[in-house]
Structure 1
Amino acid sequence: MKFSVVIPLYNKENFIAQTLNSVLAQSFTDFEVLVINDCSTDGSEQVVNTFEDSRIRLLRHTNNSGLSASRNTGIKNARANYVAFLDADDLWKPDFLKSINFLIENYPEASLFATKYELKLDQNNTTEFHFDFENFTTHGIVSNFFKTNLNQSIFYPSCLCVRKDVFETVGHYNETVNYSEDIDFNIRAFARFKLAYFNKALVTYLMVSENQITQKGLLGKKIPDYDFYEEKFKDRKDIKKYLDFQRYIKAKLFKLAGDTNQYKSLISKIDPSNLNIKQKILLHLPVFVLKWIGKSKQLLLKKGINLNSYSD
């Protein structure tokens, strides 16, 4: 078996059938599917049970434990050497696993593999970002994950496949973190291992899901310990800049959520030289202006116009 597909499931009754169908429709068929029900309170599990496919295994948590714990349960129960992740409201295009397998076979120096994605903004609007890589056009090794991701992220968790022994080296998902769990793992993983990437949108990331955490703000959320990683990798300027970029993003979100203490704590650790002029200005704008900018960006994105603060 080549792939173990891990799908964390919590209250996605209206989405999980589509997600599973997108896996079962893969042109590359050597895989198992592990659905981890994290104590859903809706009919999510009943929907999964309607699928009669021997490749699907349903695992249950006895207590609601969060996204990291669900991914870890999948990793620990995976039978394959390659673990691919798919959120229960996202979709794979039919050639996703085929393309990941192509990367595995053609880039043996890599241990993590991912593809580009498209954003489904609502029922009628889908868009994708354009990424330029210095050493390839269609596929190849990302020369430096941290430098490449100082802009719009080049992949979401549903785009990622990891060779299983990576977890043995850098650890599993941090179960104490309940916002940006993927960022926490990525810091550890890409400090040690290489990423092979397919620059084609083979994943549909749904922004219309009814319980997307990213739509609810950061109040009460535990984010990665950027100070810990700054100390751990203190000789890596590329990681420091990436950490400051993450602090910038989270500081704005905490400000919007009304958590002034977290906002001040994060910006106090940022080296100003790691931010551009637009980012410095945005950090200090009033909340009502940030909210207006956020709404305007969403409207423009639906028209295919992507405005961001990531470039000068």
Structure 2
Amino acid sequence: MPKFSVIISVYNKGDFIQKTLQSVLAQSVQEYEIIVVNDASTDHSEAQILAMPQDKITYHAFQENKGAAATRNKGLELATGDYIALLDGDDLWDPAYLSEINQLIHNFPDHQVFATAITIEEHDGKRPSQYSFSNPENKEQLSLNYFEASYKNTLLTSSSTVIKKTVFDTVGTYDETIKSGQDTDLWIRIGMHYPIAFSTKSYALYTYAPVSLYKSIGSVKHRPTFVAYEAAEKENASLKKFIDLNRFSLAIRAKLWNEPKEAQFFIDRIDPANLSKKQVKLLHAPAFMIKLLFGVKRLLEKLGIRLGVY
């Protein structure tokens, strides 16, 4: 039985999947199996996957497109390892990624969820992801509260997270009714039950893709509503702030996508105390102003000037 089950979800990743698989095969730790689930790709993904060495790969292909949640759930069903290592079909691991996860498992024996920092590649270059935890002693490994550490960017991603398989018995699997953002919904359930053993060094790369599922879905109707967590928010201030920041992002997107009712749904559930003054002003700005500001933001990014949302 392998220690790690590496679950790779694929939908039209033919230009990336071989590099992703190569980054797993190059790991210094070899105690793993690779489970690739192809969500009815219409490009050359399958040919690229089958061209790779198959001795460590279990391949499953859906005949109909079922979405990222169903794809990852099928991977969980096929997994035989004690730990689930998530990886998207266009992202990359450093050769020492699983070695660092092993070190986290050794150093934090009471933990069940492990992650490393991630580097984000965009059209204008690479940058380290920014988090909201403090680390005055510059420790390389920390035990963190997921919500408190994720106000800027999520501590957990679908390419830098390893989860003990038994955790899913407690929190459940991916919600297949959510087309985009099902990972955020899972992270919330994990954060409500488990601390995160985290490496502050980046061992994963989120690669730039001009077209992605998140970018292609132009409606907040296909994203989480967070209604299921409203009762828990009343007892958990860090959970409430984390979800309010996500509501803010969704409300802004709803305005950009001409969905005023959906925008108001999220606005009504936000405690303004959890937002910055700039965020509150932006939240209540008219849609045309938000579109104008985002147009300026994109123009500045092309010129090499990056502005943060928060």
Deviation of 1:62 after TM superposition, in Å, equals: 3.0
* Matches of 1:257 and 1:181, distance apart in 2: 20
- 1:49 corresponds to: 50
So what's the TM-score if we normalise by structure 1? 0.91
* Matches of 2:121 and 2:302, distance apart in 1: 9
* Matches of 1:243 and 1:115, distance apart in 2: 22
| Partner secondary structure for residue 253 of structure 2 | helix
Task: Encode CA deviations 1:181-221: one digit per residue, 9 max, x unaligned.
Answer: 111001111101111001111111113x2431232353264
Are 1:218 and 2:228 counterparts? no
Letter in 2 for 1:86: L
- 2:84 corresponds to: 83
Are 1:267 and 2:240 counterparts? no
Q: Does structure 2 retain, via aligned residues, the 8 Å contact 1:67–1:178?
A: yes
1:32–1:109: structure 2 CA closer, same or farther, 3 Å change rule?
Answer: same
* Matches of 2:234 and 2:161, distance apart in 1: 27
| Partner secondary structure for residue 250 of structure 1 | helix
**Comparing 297-306 and 49-58, the one that deviates more:** 297-306
1:103–1:25: structure 2 CA closer, same or farther, 3 Å change rule?
Answer: same
Q: Does structure 2 retain, via aligned residues, the 8 Å contact 1:112–1:195?
A: yes
* Matches of 1:189 and 1:240, distance apart in 2: 15
Letter in 1 for 2:111: A
Runs of at least 5 residues in structure 2 that lack an aligned partner in the other structure: none
Q: Does structure 1 retain, via aligned residues, the 8 Å contact 2:146–2:155?
A: no
- Number of equivalenced pairs: 307
Deviation of 1:225 after TM superposition, in Å, equals: 3.2
- 2:139 corresponds to: 137
So what's the TM-score if we normalise by structure 2? 0.92
Q: Give RMSD over aligned pairs.
A: 2.1
* Matches of 1:104 and 1:56, distance apart in 2: 24
Letter in 2 for 1:170: V
1:304–1:79: structure 2 CA closer, same or farther, 3 Å change rule?
Answer: farther
Task: Encode CA deviations 1:8-45: one digit per residue, 9 max, x unaligned.
Answer: 11111111111111111111111110000111111101
Letter in 2 for 1:138: E
Task: Encode CA deviations 1:101-143: one digit per residue, 9 max, x unaligned.
Answer: 1111110121111111111113x6212134453476311111x
1:216–1:44: structure 2 CA closer, same or farther, 3 Å change rule?
Answer: same
* Matches of 1:304 and 1:138, distance apart in 2: 30
Deviation of 1:239 after TM superposition, in Å, equals: 1.1
Deviation of 1:298 after TM superposition, in Å, equals: 5.2
Task: Encode CA deviations 1:59-110: one digit per residue, 9 max, x unaligned.
Answer: 1223211001111111111010100111111111111111111111110121
Task: Encode CA deviations 1:221-261: one digit per residue, 9 max, x unaligned.
Answer: 42223122112453112211111111001111111111111
Matches within 5 A, 1:242-257: 242-257=242-257
| Partner secondary structure for residue 158 of structure 1 | coil
| Partner secondary structure for residue 183 of structure 2 | helix
Runs of at least 5 residues in structure 1 that lack an aligned partner in the other structure: none
Q: Does structure 2 retain, via aligned residues, the 8 Å contact 1:141–1:194?
A: yes
Percent identical among aligned pairs is 35
* Matches of 1:230 and 1:290, distance apart in 2: 28
Q: Does structure 1 retain, via aligned residues, the 8 Å contact 2:179–2:223?
A: yes
Q: Does structure 1 retain, via aligned residues, the 8 Å contact 2:156–2:187?
A: no
